[in-house]
Amino acid sequence: MISPFKCPGSFGSGTPAIKIKICPQCGGEVELFSIDMKVDCPSCGQPVFNNINSCAEYCQYAEQCLGTDIYSKLKK
Ligand SMILES: [Zn+2]
């Protein structure tokens, strides 16, 4: 029996990890937690997205896991 809310992807570990992403606009480093969907770049304000949209691509439970609102934005 698989819990419908147990995501094996980005949210599976339970412990938020800090990740460094590179801003696509200014090339600066942007710190975000693994549970963050989006962080605005501190240098230029460009929204930098975490790669949880890949989760929405393959996970059949992404809609419940992320919420319908976020899910529909990611799938757009
Ligand atoms: Zn930037």
Residue by residue, pLDDT tens for the chain (76 residues) are 444 555 555 444 556 678 888 898 999 999 988 777 788 999 999 988 876 555 667 778 778 877 888 778 777 6
pTM of the model: 0.49
Residue 61 near residue 46 (C-beta atoms within 8 A):
no
Q: How far is the CA of 50 from the centre of ligand 1 (A)?
A: 14
Q: Which long-range contacts (CB under 8 A, 24 or more apart) does 26-35 make?
A: 34/10, 35/10, 35/11
Q: Residue 27 Cα, ligand 1 centroid: separation in angstroms?
A: 6
* Per-residue pLDDT, 12: 47
Helix (H, G, I), strand (E, B) or coil at 47: strand
Q: Which residues surround ligand 1, an ion (CB under 5 A)?
A: 23, 25-26, 28, 41, 43-44, 46
